[in-house]
């Protein structure tokens, strides 16, 4: 079923304050629009829920200079405006050199055309890819219904093996695991000012209608990434069905600080397997403070999916994820990811 876009107002915000005042003025009836690659499709398909109505007004952030800036200072770190496009993340020399896990993740999002339009903020705030959620005829849990159709229906690709609840979707963003691995922070703004939240706290779990902690009058202004200290190994690996453009069946982002073969610090985050980017704490703890070797890597790979509860048709994701974790850690051990 194809619908036309509903009518809406479109407002170009001139600065960060104006975004906040417009969101406040429309009182939950407005949405931020950036590259529009996700939002307009959702509006055409009439996807709405108790906390996410079809917007009557769209507040365009792309004309605000701060939103499209990338600035780096070795002392203070990297700041990226939420309106920076994915292809600019890929092309940025400083990101390629110092934060390469982010550049690798951005390069694996969709197609060139999509990366030219899609933005950092839109990637982090995009909605799930579950076919039932996106279909106008299915009023699933996230849309205010009382059931999840995917548990007994089609769930081979974009559904979870870990941490699922009333909804079994996976978080679709490739950038989120990479940013958590880099210990990034989000800067969120509303008309009262801003708040800084570690990015792993930005995402909600499976029993919420929305996927982020943003309030209706609030938006994502900027991402901050601290300078990485010491020698780091960074890697993002992703498996998908169509290599030309597809969401992750499973992905892993890892950032490790290595000294004399000993892993002093490790942040490892899985994508495509849980309703939110999944930090593999147990696997991290096995590796941290130890000399890395193949046996330890195999054990950490097992630990990374401990507690997995695959659905009837996505059990293959368990082994797939273990394999990706092994490859990621091996590339760090062998210095390939340096």
| Minimum CB–partner distance for residue 106 and ligand FAD (Å) | 9
Neighbours of 227 (CB within 10 A): 13
| Minimum CB–partner distance for residue 296 and ligand FAD (Å) | 30
**Binds ligand FAD by CB under 6 A, chosen from 247, 263, 311, 318:** 247
Q: What is the CA radius of gyration of the chain?
A: 20
Neighbours of 295 (CB within 10 A): 8
Asked if 185 touches ligand FAD (CB under 6 A), the answer is no
- Selection from 174, 198, 56, 180 nearest residue 118 by Cα: 174
Between 81 and 206, CB nearer to ligand FAD: 81
Q: Measured between alpha carbons, how far is 228 from 26 in angstroms, rounded to an integer?
A: 40
User: Which residue, chain included where needed, has tokens 């205010």?
Assistant: 144
Residue 270 DSSP one-character state? E
Q: Which residue is nearest to ligand FAD (CB)?
A: 122
**Binds ligand FAD by CB under 6 A, chosen from 23, 26, 35, 268:** 35
Asked if 34 touches ligand FAD (CB under 6 A), the answer is yes
Phi first, then psi: give them for residue 239, nearest 5 degrees: -115, 140
Between 116 and 331, CB nearer to ligand FAD: 116
**Binds ligand FAD by CB under 6 A, chosen from 125, 225, 255, 325:** 125
| Minimum CB–partner distance for residue 124 and ligand FAD (Å) | 8
Asked if 141 touches ligand FAD (CB under 6 A), the answer is no
Binding mask 76-115 for ligand FAD (x = CB under 6 A): ------x--------------------------xx---x-
Q: Give the count of residues interacting with ligand FAD (CB under 6 A).
A: 31
Between 39 and 297, CB nearer to ligand FAD: 39
Asked if 57 touches ligand FAD (CB under 6 A), the answer is no
Q: Measured between alpha carbons, how far is 232 from 194 in angstroms, rounded to an integer?
A: 31
Query: Are residues 109 and 175 in contact, defined by beta-carbon separation less than 8 angstroms?
Result: yes
User: Which residue, chain included where needed, has tokens 């002392």?
Assistant: 75
CA dihedral 233, 236, 239, 240 (to 10 degrees): -170
Asked if 216 touches ligand FAD (CB under 6 A), the answer is no
Q: Measured between alpha carbons, how far is 92 from 104 in angstroms, rounded to an integer?
A: 11
**Binds ligand FAD by CB under 6 A, chosen from 77, 122, 177, 272:** 122
Could you say which residues in the range 2-31 bind ligand FAD, by CB under 6 A?
31
Query: Are residues 173 and 272 in contact, defined by beta-carbon separation less than 8 angstroms?
Result: no
Between 125 and 274, CB nearer to ligand FAD: 125
63-82 residues labelled b (16+ CB within 10 A) or e (exposed):
ebeebbebebeeeebbbbbb
| Minimum CB–partner distance for residue 291 and ligand FAD (Å) | 34
Between 272 and 287, CB nearer to ligand FAD: 272
User: Which residue, chain included where needed, has tokens 């959620």?
Assistant: 133
Query: Are residues 86 and 174 in contact, defined by beta-carbon separation less than 8 angstroms?
Result: no
Residues of this chain that interact with ligand FAD (CB under 6 A) are 31-39, 61, 82, 109-110, 114, 117-119, 121-123, 125-126, 172-174, 214, 219-220, 245-247
């Amino acid at each position: 079923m194809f619908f036309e876009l509903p009518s809406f107002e479109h407002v170009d915000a001139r600065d960060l304050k104006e975004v906040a005042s417009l969101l406040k003025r429309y009182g939950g009836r407005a949405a931020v629009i950036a590259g529009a690659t996700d939002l307009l499709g959702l509006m055409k398909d009439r996807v709405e829920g108790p906390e996410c109505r079809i917007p009557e007004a769209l507040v365009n952030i792309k004309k605000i200079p701060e939103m499209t800036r990338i600035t780096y200072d070795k002392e203070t770190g990297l700041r990226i405006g939420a309106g920076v496009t994915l292809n600019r993340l890929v092309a940025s020399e400083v990101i390629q050199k110092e934060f390469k896990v982010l550049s690798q993740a951005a390069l694996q999002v969709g197609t060139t055309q999509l990366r030219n339009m899609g933005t950092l903020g839109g990637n982090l705030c995009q909605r799930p890819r579950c076919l039932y959620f996106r279909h106008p005829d299915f009023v699933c849990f996230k849309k205010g219904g009382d059931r999840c159709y995917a548990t007994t229906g089609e769930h081979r690709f974009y559904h979870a093996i870990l941490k699922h609840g009333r909804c079994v979707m996976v978080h679709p963003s490739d950038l989120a695991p990479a940013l958590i691995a880099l210990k990034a922070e989000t800067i969120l703004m509303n008309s009262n000012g801003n708040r800084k939240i570690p990015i792993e706290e930005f995402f909600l779990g499976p029993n919420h209608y929305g996927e982020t902690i943003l309030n209706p009058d609030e938006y994502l202004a900027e991402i901050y990434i601290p300078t990485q200290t010491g020698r780091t190994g960074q890697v993002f690996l992703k498996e998908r069905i169509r290599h030309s453009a597809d969401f992750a069946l499973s992905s892993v982002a890892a950032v490790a600080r290595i000294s004399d073969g000993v892993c002093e610090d490790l942040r490892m985050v899985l994508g495509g397997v849980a309703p939110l980017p999944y930090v593999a704490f147990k696997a991290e703890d096995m590796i941290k403070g130890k000399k890395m070797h193949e046996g330890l890597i195999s054990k950490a790979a097992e630990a990374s999916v401990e507690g997995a509860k695959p659905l009837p048709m996505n059990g293959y994701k368990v082994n797939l994820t273990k394999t990706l974790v092994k490859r990621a850690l091996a590339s760090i051990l062998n210095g390939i990811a340096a």
